[in-house]
Amino acid sequence: MKKTIINLSLAVFALGITNVIYGQETKEILNWYNGKKPGMETEKAYKMLKKRKSETVVVAVIDSGIDIEHEDLKGKIWVNKDEIPGNKIDDDNNGYVDDVYGWNFLGNSNGENLNEANLEKTRLLRKYTAKFEKVDPETLSADEKKEYELYQEVKTDVEAEIEMYSSVIAQLDMMPQMIQQIPVMVSSQIGKTDYTLEDLEKWKPDNDQMKQLKRAAEAILTGDLTMEVIDKQKAQVQGMLDYNLNVNFIDRELIGDNPEDFSDKSYGNSDVEGPDALHGTHVGGIIGAIRGNSLGGDGVAENVLLMSVRAVPDGDEFDKDIAFAVRYAVDNGAKVINMSFGKAYSPHQKEVYEAFKYADSKGVLLVHAAGNDNADVDTNTNYPTSLYSFQTAPLDHFLTIGASTRMSKKELAATFSNYGQTKVDVFAPGFEIYNSVPQSDYMKLQGTSMAAPMVSGVAAMLKSYFPTLSMKEIKDIMLQSATSYKGKQQYLPGTEDLVDFASLSVTGAVINVKTAVKMCMKLEKSKASK
């Protein structure tokens, strides 16, 4: 799920999901991720490569869609040259009609598109309610009892989330009055009516209620907390209740296929932007937005083409769409596949894994966002995963990415980022990232969804300048060359507990392009001399 919600900077709204940032000067954060540590030192890497030529690399973006007409993505969109646009014929016989710029697995042949969708646990609850609601569990077989336990689990989970989000709606309804009262309450505490952010910084509240009041006051002064922000958050939370968690909303009806039937491939359409391409356009911009044109943020990779594969709705992605999307990307020449999505349940894990295995066999790098629940994915399920329970060996071409910030003192790991000493490989910038969104606009977003395309961009950039290196070699170099923060005490995401940054990922490091380039040069020279 490409979960995006407005950040109100209040503990009561800390929903553990991706944040849209308001109220901060763009110039403070523009391209920080390409700059010096804890950025990736991308600019220094390009200086080392200025005398080299590069080859074009195709990166598939499996996401919500990409605005292929964005001003900062001109010349950066993949084109299927074997397909004649608009003739309603499958010219290249790949099973997809008019797939000129990619494919949309969330549409139908009438040109209609699915946007809102259930969470996977909502789909499971609907499925199992019909089967188990009126059944005596004592009469069930051993296999049925496992399904019944899952039914009970998702039922409890969905009901709890409905209750939580209903409570959030009620709190949001109270916010306009609170916004008016907050300045008065703060003034009574600090003895100053015309207070500034500097005044608030000096204020040291001694209880949780006053600490939350301080955060709210800061949010008002910075513009993070406004009526417009509240209205947007309320609309998004209401959408969760109306669609994501609503068992009566049948999300697959518009597409018309059977999501359980993996033999049925005849669905979708060629609309690779879809109705809401904000998330995918931002991801695509991080990978390959035009560099040095003073429009938005610079992409990481210069000589890259973006293949838009639309498979991620406003809700949880379907396993079937992801499996087909990966195969489509591989078969059409992608060298890197960016996957900025994830969910807690996956009913068709083996089919998704088989698609990953197919990509792995073709030497295609899969880059997956770790997720934004500040959870340990070594012990908390998050799909897709680098290691399924039935897997006998890890894939050679799979990376899971956590989100880092521009603040290396205690806050290097983003507070929302998932982590895991065995299942998260490395961290990359995913905090306060300014880049492209639809209609040739730009926005600051954050999440592991932004960290994954950093790594996809680095992989594509290295492959473009070092084409003789395999994607496995490039993957290994990215991990070996990342800036180590082992021994550095950092906040465990979502807490104020200090832990060794090394405990948050396999490498205990943040991606570094400059060092990766040096290692690529060394390996290239070594291979050439043999």
Is a pLDDT exceeding 70 seen at residue 163? yes
Within a domain: residue 523?
A: yes
Q: Based on the structure, what is the number of domains in the chain?
A: 2
pLDDT for position 232: 85
Within a domain: residue 14?
A: no
Same domain, 307 and 223: no
Q: In what order do the strands lie in the sheet with 509-510?
A: 102-104, 304-310, 57-63, 336-339, 365-369, 398-404, 426-429, 509-510, 483-484
Same domain, 303 and 406: yes
pLDDT for position 395: 97
| Average confidence (pLDDT) over 365-376 | 97
Q: What is the pTM of this model?
A: 0.92
- Give residue 119's identity as a one-letter amino acid code: L
Domain boundary among 244, 276, 303: 244
Domain that holds residue 195: 120-244
Report percent pLDDT > 70 for the chain: 95
Same domain, 318 and 418: yes
pLDDT for position 19: 45
Within a domain: residue 249?
A: no
Which pLDDT tens digit goes with each residue over 175-230?
888 888 999 999 999 999 999 999 999 999 999 889 889 988 998 898 878 888 88
Is a pLDDT exceeding 80 seen at residue 384? yes
From CA 474, how far away is CA 482, in angstroms rounded?
12
Which pLDDT tens digit goes with each residue over 313-365?
999 999 999 999 999 999 999 999 999 999 999 999 999 999 999 999 999 99
Same domain, 461 and 516: yes
pLDDT for position 345: 97
Same domain, 507 and 418: yes
Within a domain: residue 181?
A: yes
| Average confidence (pLDDT) over 406-434 | 96
Rg (CA), the chain: 23
Same domain, 210 and 305: no
For residue 425, what pLDDT band results from cuts at 50, 70 and 90?
Answer: very high
At 527, is the secondary structure helix, strand, or coil?
helix
Same domain, 339 and 475: yes
CB 197 within 8 A of CB 218: yes
Same domain, 129 and 97: no
pLDDT for position 8: 39
Within a domain: residue 6?
A: no
Same domain, 281 and 139: no
β-sheet bridge partners, residue 173 = none
Q: Which of 326, 352, 310, 288 is nearest to 106 (CA)?
A: 310
pLDDT for position 225: 82
Domain boundary among 213, 244, 275: 244
pLDDT for position 28: 81
Same domain, 414 and 502: yes
Same domain, 164 and 84: no
Distances, alpha carbon 299 to alpha carbons 51, 191, 252, 311, 458, in Å: 20, 47, 34, 23, 10
Q: In CATH, what number is assigned to the domain containing residue 321?
A: 3.40.50.200
Is a pLDDT exceeding 80 seen at residue 509? yes
Higher-pLDDT residue of 71, 231: 71
Residues in the chain: 530
Within a domain: residue 384?
A: yes
Within a domain: residue 464?
A: yes
From CA 64, how far away is CA 2, in angstroms rounded?
8
State the average pLDDT for the chain: 93
Which pLDDT tens digit goes with each residue over 434-443?
999 999 999 9
pLDDT for position 20: 45
pLDDT for position 25: 60
Within a domain: residue 22?
A: no
From CA 498, how far away is CA 513, in angstroms rounded?
28
Which pLDDT tens digit goes with each residue over 44-60?
999 999 999 999 999 99
pLDDT for position 413: 98
Domain boundary among 244, 268, 291: 244
Same domain, 186 and 266: no
From CA 290, how far away is CA 75, in angstroms rounded?
9
